[in-house]
Structures are given as structure tokens and as C-alpha cells.
Structure 1
Amino acid sequence: MALRNLMTPKQIQVLNSYLNDDWKYMILSGAVRSGKTYVDNYIFLLELRRVRKLANRDHVAAPKYILAGYSSGTIYNNIISELENTFGIEVKYDRRGHFQLFGVEVVPAYTGSSRGIGGIRGMTSYGAYINEASLATHGVFQEIIQRCSKDGARIIADTNPDNPNHWLKTDYIDNHDPAARIKSFHFTLDDNTFLSDDYVQALKAATPSGMFYDRSILGLWVTADGIVYRDFDQRTMIINQEQVPEDLHIYCGVDWGFEHKGVITVWGDDEDGNIYLLEEHTSQYKYIDYWVRVAKDIQKRYGYNVNFWVDSARPDNVSEFQRNNINAINADKSRMAGVERVAEYMKLGKFFIVDSAIDQFTSEIYQYVWDENTGEPKKENDDVMDSMRYAIFNEHRQNKTQFINSSYF
């Protein structure tokens, strides 16, 4: 079978560079589902075979190699399970979480925090494969590189884009000093020619405009700019009560406040996957007994099984809700993932606001802007925005649309 039947032209280009060029670092960056990790997984296997030969040259019986990722879960999902499914390789861990492959001891390192590299401190490695490299802390990345001190050691890495001032971009991808011996490749979604046109068009249509589209589809290292929810269109998304369907699935988001505004938003989903802001309760200088009364009134009108996705920053308030038989659940507050999920509904035209519900919503959404220094939304004009994010992101975390879960490469 020809190689072009197994790999895309971009993947073949990377493989040719791996086999023929002189390099120390090989970094693949770019769009989601573009084929970066697939070819890096293949190169990882080739690297282990090469390391075994280097170890034979050095008369080393048990050479070590670092396999790094944000967490044990991401290493398994992105690499181990793909090796098992694609290449039929069975990985058996020892009591330390290491495994042997092609006569090489593979040692995991977790890059999400400095604690994740305890297992590689002091070791000497013949190389490293760093998955989701932009998520690594800078110190962990440097520690991994320092461990790869054997003659002939090399580092491969893949990543989605981040802020253009990210150290991985400025110090490595943009480093064109020949002495550094860095090879970098940029991937776009369209580089994955094995994806169906239907999948690609659906993903493009659903990806929010601006930074999310530029990074996820075009694979660009761009900064955020302007308002966060660029696809919100009040001309089509603000509706009257008569346009709201019946038989909605109801849930709420809660952002505690006192000096700044506290908010409870009430949301409803219809059977077509549309979401509706039905009520917004926003007040300042209110104690918890006020918010209990608001929540009890919502229960009275919509049912006692309504989920209240709450800000976990005030455990005393959460406990007070629960003591009053209000189904308060600590929300996953992941900002970027939550913002992207909300923005996705707007891009798809499945997001609506009932005009009678509006208090501070429209004021906030046009003042909710990106912080160019952090690449995240500014912590300003965000009370209703946080309540919205808690509700929508958490209520739909286990109900991702098909194109979000679909993957081959």
C-alpha cells in the first residue's frame, strides 16, 4: 500500500524531514484535527527504534525515553490508545507507571504542573515526545529538555496554537538559528485530507469567529482582540416570549456577589438544541437569604429538579442552597472552554435571549472583552457572563455535538 494512502501530504512532508534532515527539535503546531498527533505518534515509534540502536552503540542495557503530556489522561487518550488502536501495540505498565517498548523504557512526565516531573528528575534520557506542548509550564518543558542529554537525543512535540507571545512560539518555533537545529511545521484543518468535506464544513461553521477560528481552523498563533462574543447578533437573537417553545429543559447558572453584582440566570433547551435565556436576576448588596428566595421561586415555577450550576468560590452559599433543598452543584469554571462552548451556540444560531429577561445582559456582552496580556476575557463586566458560562458549559459537557467528538487523525 502506498504511503499516500496512509498519510496526508503534510504528514509525508514531516516524515521526510524526520528521515532526511539534521534536527534536534521537531515541533508540529496548528489546527485541531489536522493530523499532527497522528504523525508524531508514528515518529515516536521510529524514535524508540532509533534510541535502541543508540543504546546498543553506548552499551546501555536499559535506555530511557520521556513521554510527556498535560496529564496521565491526555497521554493515554492522545497517544497510548491511538498506538493500541492504530498499530495494535499493547502497552503494559509496571508498578511505577513506566512501560517497555522496542527495548526502551518509556517514562511518563506530566507537564501541567511542576509536581508532574518528579519521576524524571535526575534521570538521563535519549529523547522526549511532548504532547500538547503549549500547555506545559515553561519550567517543566526546560526540565524535560535538560534530561535529554544523551548523545543523539532529540525532542519531538506537537501543540495547538496559543498567544503569539507564548514562550514555545518565541523561543522555539520562531528560532531560526541554525545552531538550534529546530524544525517546525504549521498545520491547518484543510491539511487533513482524510477528513470528510461534511465534517470539515460543519466544524468550520460551528467554530466561533475571531481567535477561536484562527487558532482551531487556520492553526494561527494569534492574540484575542475586541469583544469576546463576536457572533452575538441582537437583531436575530433577542426574541419575545411568544417565540419561546414549550416543554423546555430548565437549568440555572449562579454567580455570587455582594460588592459586585450577584446573578442567577435561568436557561431552557428545546428539542432542536436551541438554548434560551428565560430569566436574569441581577442584584447588588444582597445576602444569601435573598438568593435562596429567588431560587425557591424558580423551583416553584419550573420544578424542584432544576440544576443550579454555582460558583464554588463561596462554599457557605453553596451549603445554604443545599440546606434549602436547592440542587446546587459546583460548576466547572474553565474559562476558555466555557467561553468557547457558549460562543459555539451563537455561531450556530442556536442562542436566544427573551427580551423580558434582560437586565444587565446586553450591557455586559458588548463590554466583555479580551485581555491581550493573558489571552483570556478580562475580569470586568462579567457577572452575567460568568453565570451564563457556568450554566451552559456545565449543563452540556456530556452532550457535545458530533463534530466536536469526531476524530480520526
Structure 2
Amino acid sequence: MSLLDALPLSRKQVISIVEADARINAWEGSVRSGKTIASLLAWLAFVATAPTGGELVMVGRTRDSLYRNVIAPLTNPDIFGPLATQISYNNGAPIAYIMGRAVHMVGANDAKAEPKIRGMTCAGGYVDEATTLPKTFFDQLVARCSVKGAKIFTTTNPDNPSHWFRRDYLKRPAETRLRSWHFTLDDNPFLDPDYVASLKSTYVGLFYRRNILGHWVQAEGAIYEAFDETRHVVQDIPQISRWLCDSIDYGTTNPYADLLIGLGVDQRLYVVSEYRWDSRAQRRKKTDAEYSQERRRWLASVSQPQTNVLGVQPEWTVVDPSAASYIEQLHRDGVTGVTPAENTVLDGIRTVSSLFAADRLRVHPSAAGLIEELPGYSWDDEAAEKGEDKPIKVDDHSCDALRYGVRTTEALWRPHIPTLLEVAA
């Protein structure tokens, strides 16, 4: 059967698959726009007839992300039909078998990954989300695809307009022998219109332009554009159905910030209380043991909204992952549910932004440090000039704690907040 008969395809997907005969073939654009499916069909067609004088590789930020974003869809018969039987892979293994060929599975999450393919002679490669990889790795992969007829297939969502992938590859198609196809959300005609409308309402500002419109735009100004103190800071908090976590950005010289986050019966997240210690302002540093003791006292003093109950025991204590000694202190003090925070910065910012935009995250006035930081939490212009999206690392301690708590407990609260959708690239 023809690969193009495997599943319904849009006209743009078919065109990109048929035309994907350049040395580097790139599908870029918004989330859920159909670019990944098109790129995978083009990759399967290539693997079926790829040159035999070199190795084949598939690359993701990690092997887990490669499995989640690429292999899981490929092996799903509801998506790829009979073609799914042509892929054999155990998650975490170094080799997959695709269309009868052995394919190396490589994670490339930092600059140290480049030696993984050094010395290889490659006949072809597939790269998931090129902008998440180090430039040194991608450059090395291009150099290693030296067999006659070798090709690279890659996808990416838009990023900063100065990002190396756009600057050195997408904007230099003749020099790099690259062909690209730009996809927007509206290029996928098979999505349910209600889903598309809901997805569009999930994003604001920078993330709307990137994830919905597919624009390569620079981060500008305030990070949480949707935050409105008159709307999101509330005195009256409903009953909390689930105390998700207290979330800690650890500091000794810098402020220590701990936020108590709960899920309200109205299907919103609430920052109910904050403990904060600024050693510079107080002119005294605290030890790990003192912070642990103060944390216990603070939680014991919190009044549960709409009840007469005093004291809260959250399900998780989410801690700045760099604070190893403090995590150990909490364990020694018998605190249960201690976990290092999920610290993917942009993903965390995107999630918090979406919650504010949908009015699904509110803050009690007692969280004074967080309320003071939120309006000034801004993108770093100097980092943007280098093609990076980073917050300015000033007055961000409670903002970091908020991001840690919301992102790390997402699996617990997301099923109860139906207006937010889990978006797959």
C-alpha cells in the first residue's frame, strides 16, 4: 500500500511528504498542525529505501521524549494503521527496528551529547523538536550524514527568532540544502472545531503567537501578561478539595519562598498562603533545620477556607531541585511527599500563563511576595538577542516557587480543570 493511503492527510501534508527530497527537510509551525505526522510518513518512506552504506538515527531531547512524541504515535494502529506493525521498539532501548532497518535511538539534551554520534557514518536521521537540541549536536549530525543520498528529517515548534536553528538553517536554505514547510493550527482540517477553539483560548501573548499562529517571535515585556491583580487576587477562597503542595524556592542569601497551593471546589487553583524569609532584609540567615521548623509552624497556622480547621498537610512538598541539602533535611525531619521540582522553565511559564488567562489560578492577598513579583516578572532582552527565552533572574523567587508547584503537580489538578488542554507538539 502507498504510505499516503495510511491515514487522512491535508493537502499541505501531502505536498510536504512528496517534496521531502532535500538534504535537510524541516516541518515547522504551531502545535497540532499536522507537521509531525507528515514528517513521520516522509521518514518511513525514506527508511524503506534508505542507502545501506551507513547507519540510521532518530534523535530527541531524551529517549523518553523521543518515545512519547514519535515512537508511540508510530506504533499506534489507530493513527498509522498497518504501518504500525513495521516498527518494533522497547522504550529506553538504544535500537529500534523500522521498516526492517536498525535505527539508533539517541537522546541529546545538552552539549555533552555530541560525542554520541561522533565517528558514525550515517545514511539518514530523524530529529524531533530541533530547537530543543544543542547546536553542536545538530551540526555534528549533519556532518555525519555523509553517505550518498543521506537525508535528515526534522520538526520543530517556533522559538525565538534569533534561535540558531532558524538563523543558521531555516534562513539559509541554499547553503544548507534545506527545504521547509510552515504549518499553522488551521492547516489541520481533521481537528474538531470545538477543540481548536478551546486550544486557541488556552494561550495568550507570546505563546499564542508561537503555538497557534506558528510565528517565530521574540519574548517581550511582562511574562504573565494576563495577570490582573483586580481579577486574580481574591480575599474569599472557596473550600479546598485537595491540598496539592507547598512549593519552595530555596534561598539563604536570596529570599526563601514557600507557597501553599490547593485545588478549589470551583475547579481553580489557589495560592492560599505564603511563607517567605528575606535574609538581606531581616539581616539574618537561617539554616536548613530552621527553615524546616518554620515551614512546619507555618503550615500548622494556616486556616482552611470555609471551615474551622486549623493546619494543612499538603500531599507534596515540591522543592527547588538545586537545594539538595534542604531536601535531605526535610527527609530527616520526617516530611513525607518531598520531591524535587519539575524545572523546565518555559513549560512551567506556559502552564502558569494559561491558568491566569483562563482565570483558573487565583492568589490570596497574604501571598504578598508573589503578588509583588508577578507584575515585574519579565523576559531577558540580552538572552533574547542570543536566541534564548529566559526570565530576568531578579525578584523571581516566589514566581519560581509558583512555577515549580503548578508544573510538578499538573497530573493531579489537570483532570479537574477542563478548560485547559494538554497540548501535544
Is the partner of 2:162 in helix, strand or coil?
coil
CA positional deviation for 1:175? 1.1
Is the partner of 2:85 in helix, strand or coil?
coil
Gaps of 5+ in 2: 280-284, 301-309
2:268 to 249, 252, 274: 274
Paired residues for 1:36-47 under 5 Å: 36-47=35-46
Within 2, Cα distance between the matches of 1:180 and 1:291? 54
2:328 pairs with 1:311: no
Letter in 2 for 1:205: S
CA positional deviation for 1:157? 0.9
Aligned to 2:159: 162
Within 1, Cα distance between the matches of 2:234 and 2:423? 33
Aligned to 2:222: 227
Paired residues for 1:7-406 under 5 Å: 7-18=9-20, 23-51=22-50, 54-55=51-52, 63-85=54-76, 86=80, 87-92=83-88, 97-116=94-113, 118=115, 120-177=117-174, 180-207=176-203, 209-240=204-235, 243-250=236-243, 251-285=245-279, 286-288=285-287, 289-300=289-300, 301-327=310-336, 328-355=338-365, 357-372=366-381, 373=383, 374-400=388-414, 404-405=421-422
Range 373-382 or range 5-14, more displaced: 5-14
Within 2, Cα distance between the matches of 1:100 and 1:359? 55
Change in Cα spacing, 1:155 to 1:292, as seen in structure 2 (3 Å) is closer
Kept in 2, the 8 Å contact 1:66–1:106? The answer is: yes
CA positional deviation for 1:41? 0.8
Is the partner of 2:317 in helix, strand or coil?
strand
Within 2, Cα distance between the matches of 1:304 and 1:101? 49
Gaps of 5+ in 1: none
CA positional deviation for 1:230? 0.5
Cα-to-partner distance string for 1:278-323 (whole Å, 9 max, x where unaligned)? 1122222241354334322244233345422112323222222333
CA positional deviation for 1:122? 2.1
Change in Cα spacing, 1:316 to 1:98, as seen in structure 2 (3 Å) is closer
Kept in 1, the 8 Å contact 2:275–2:295? The answer is: no
Is the partner of 1:107 in helix, strand or coil?
strand
Cα-to-partner distance string for 1:343-394 (whole Å, 9 max, x where unaligned)? 1110111111222x14222321111100131311111110111121122211
Change in Cα spacing, 1:116 to 1:399, as seen in structure 2 (3 Å) is farther
Within 1, Cα distance between the matches of 2:322 and 2:22? 48
The TM-score with structure 1 as length reference comes to: 0.88
Kept in 2, the 8 Å contact 1:161–1:219? The answer is: yes
Within 2, Cα distance between the matches of 1:79 and 1:393? 23
Is the partner of 1:370 in helix, strand or coil?
coil
Change in Cα spacing, 1:247 to 1:128, as seen in structure 2 (3 Å) is closer
Aligned to 2:305: none
Kept in 2, the 8 Å contact 1:296–1:326? The answer is: no
CA positional deviation for 1:113? 3.0
Is the partner of 1:336 in helix, strand or coil?
helix
Kept in 2, the 8 Å contact 1:107–1:120? The answer is: no
The TM-score with structure 2 as length reference comes to: 0.84
Range 34-43 or range 296-305, more displaced: 296-305
Cα-to-partner distance string for 1:97-133 (whole Å, 9 max, x where unaligned)? 3344445332223222355455533222222111111
Letter in 2 for 1:47: F
Is the partner of 1:404 in helix, strand or coil?
coil
Letter in 2 for 1:42: L
Letter in 1 for 2:177: R
Is the partner of 1:263 in helix, strand or coil?
strand
Change in Cα spacing, 1:214 to 1:44, as seen in structure 2 (3 Å) is same
Change in Cα spacing, 1:96 to 1:77, as seen in structure 2 (3 Å) is closer
Is the partner of 1:23 in helix, strand or coil?
coil
Is the partner of 2:27 in helix, strand or coil?
strand
Within 1, Cα distance between the matches of 2:93 and 2:238? 55
Kept in 2, the 8 Å contact 1:108–1:119? The answer is: no
Range 298-307 or range 229-238, more displaced: 298-307
Percent identity between matched residues is 26
